[in-house]
Chains A and B, each alone.
Chain A
């Protein structure tokens, strides 16, 4: 890993009586792709605006590339930003849009022209340099916005839900393209989204946020398999929650009971609990499968999705459990009303205080 690209030291921001961001601590390495993930109102956009300099922090310090920037105005921070609306200048053509930051920096005309050309080639839009932004498709506008942000060689690339206006296929395409460009240039990137799929597929690390706090900062795998908070477990991926009790803690793992069975879970989230206390057990649907020795229930509903199907199984005394099975198997073996036994041999359950 390289040096530090961005550091937040206890940054807070209030809007009136609302604490939009509470003591955010964050360290981003050079070249890293970090996503701020959370539902709307969680503070992710506030955090991005604080980094960009559109908002002023009430407390805490922000460092970019080791330089203290908390008091530095936006235009001196040297950041590339892509807005949700793309914010392309409607009165300028594509080349003028991309060159805007270079003109503001007083880069010579010849040098600017060369760099604009280079940036447009990077996003494969060289042929459209003379077009107005309104004549471009959503995907093309997105690429112009990206080229405009990258051409100034920013210290950080900030992306504010850039894909939310694109349709599903184009979105997937743009995600791959953005990730490729980001890796080729090695530009440190802070990406804001409420789409967990986007966050998981693109990021080196994900900061899951809720109610103005960063709840967990980890790799996509860590977020998914070792969620540190109940919110993280339920926001990222699907989960079935079963009520149960803590039986005992054995160092790093703990034993809990739910639906009449015992499960081994990580101890960390249960540190503060007494033995016998109520817990909620989280189970991922793809970790469960029909097994001969499993928990007995009946199929309450079936959603066929082609490659896979989602079954909701009614288990007497436990509630409803979601599991994912291969699509073909579901069609032939698990019609609604069929008896089924759910096995937990591949399960990686986690438990949180109820």
Chain B
């Protein structure tokens, strides 16, 4: 109860700040104003929102694509060693903080990092690829952050599929690919939907990854809030951005769910 009350108070404070005017050079805000929300419509800020939505969407989809084979192998592997190996690879990143994982990626993605080293050693590239401070680099690291949760959600859904259903399909003459497309995949839909929405919402709040790997060139809402609040000390505008981000997440998730509803109907048991 106390924690919930604390959250409510904090939210109320943010909401209050969002509708106050910023007085340049002052930490204390001015009087009531909706100017923060007008300011937000400027292409500079609107662009950050669009970038954030795109990055969230891409991260969710790419995480899903990477997580599905892992989850399937995790649930279906018969060899216990293989099972634990998959589990360790896919789930342990969850226990390293976002910052540590992000620093690891800085080492891997840098101009003289592992990726560029390996590619140029193999003779595939002449010039090092620019991965740091690009959206591609941010996406790679974000997918890594989101992957464990999506794997866990998919694995839960896949483990609920009765193997007899796949056996029945095979006995009825369906080849393995057909069994996968007509039975396994549709019945994984609850996990796919949960994984996509969670991946999306999870990424929306990402801060350290776009901050460190994006290095100011890839901005998401949380980075904008940070730089406005703690570099410009424009607390009212930062608060207004937070509120807008929250609303946008809710709207985007609702839209996401609406888009996915036909898929869910396929999967309802």
Contacts and interface: CB of A to CB of B under 8 A. Distances in A.
Interface stretch (B88-96, B165-173, B197-205, B215-223): B165-173
Nearest to B168: A87
Interface stretch (B119-127, B149-157, B261-269): B261-269
Nearest to B175: A75
A81 interface: yes
Most chain B C-beta atoms within 10 Å of own C-beta, residue among A78, A91, A100:
A91
Given A91-B266, A91-B269, A134-B269, A104 B173 contact: yes
B178 A81 contact: no
Contacts of B174: 75, 100-101, 104
Contacts of A83: 164, 167-168
A134 B267 CA distance: 13
A101 B173 contact: yes
Contacts of A80: 171
Contact of A85 (B164, B175, B186, B268): B164
Interface in A134-193: 134, 148-149, 152, 158
Contacts of A104: 169, 172-175, 178
26 contacts: A52-B171, A74-B170, A74-B171, A75-B171, A75-B172, A75-B175, A78-B173, A80-B171, A81-B168, A83-B167, A84-B164, A87-B167, A89-B169, A89-B183, A90-B187, A91-B267, A91-B268, A100-B169, A100-B172, A100-B174, A101-B172, A104-B169, A104-B178, A149-B172, A152-B172, A158-B171
B162 interface: yes
A14 interface: no
Interface in B94-149: none
Query: Which secondary structure dominates chain B's binding surface?
Result: helix
A81 B166 CA distance: 12
B165 to A, nearest CB: 5
Interface in B251-269: 266-269
Interface string B176-203: 0010001100110000000000000000
A233 to B, nearest CB: 35
A350 interface: no
Interface of A: 52-54, 73-81, 83-85, 87, 89-91, 100-101, 104-105, 134, 148-149, 152, 158
A84 B167 CA distance: 12
B269 A81 contact: no
A331 to B, nearest CB: 48
A290 B164 CA distance: 52
A89 B183 CA distance: 7
Given A75-B172, A91-B268, 13 more contacts: A74-B171, A75-B170, A75-B171, A75-B174, A76-B173, A77-B171, A83-B167, A87-B162, A87-B164, A89-B165, A90-B269, A101-B172, A104-B173
Closest 4 CB pairs of A and B: A101-B172, A87-B164, A87-B168, A104-B173
Contacts of B266: 91
Given A90-B187, A91-B267, A85 B171 contact: no
Contacts of B164: 83-85, 87
Output the residue of A79, A81, A89 with the most chain B CB within 10 A: A89
A148 B172 contact: yes
Contacts of B178: 104
A90 B188 CA distance: 12
Contacts of A90: 165, 187, 269
A76 B267 CA distance: 28
Most buried by A among B164, B168, B266: B168
B115 to A, nearest CB: 40
A87 B165 contact: yes
A91 B171 contact: no
Given A87-B164, A91-B267, A134-B269, A81 B187 contact: no
Contacts of A105: 173
Contacts of A79: 171
Interface in B69-84: none
A53 B165 CA distance: 15
Most chain B beta-carbon contacts within 10 A, residue among A77, A85, A100: A100
A101 B168 CA distance: 10
Interface string B23-51: 00000000000000000000000000000
Contacts of B169: 89, 100, 104
Contacts of B267: 91
A70 to B, nearest CB: 17
Contacts of A134: 269
A317 to B, nearest CB: 54
A105 B178 CA distance: 11
A90 B164 CA distance: 12
Contacts of B182: 100
A91 B170 contact: no
Contacts of A148: 168, 172
Contact of B167 (A54, A91, A101, A149): A54
A90 B183 CA distance: 9
A81 B164 CA distance: 11
A132 B171 CA distance: 21
Residue in B171, B186, B187 with the greatest tally of chain A CB atoms within 10 Å: B171
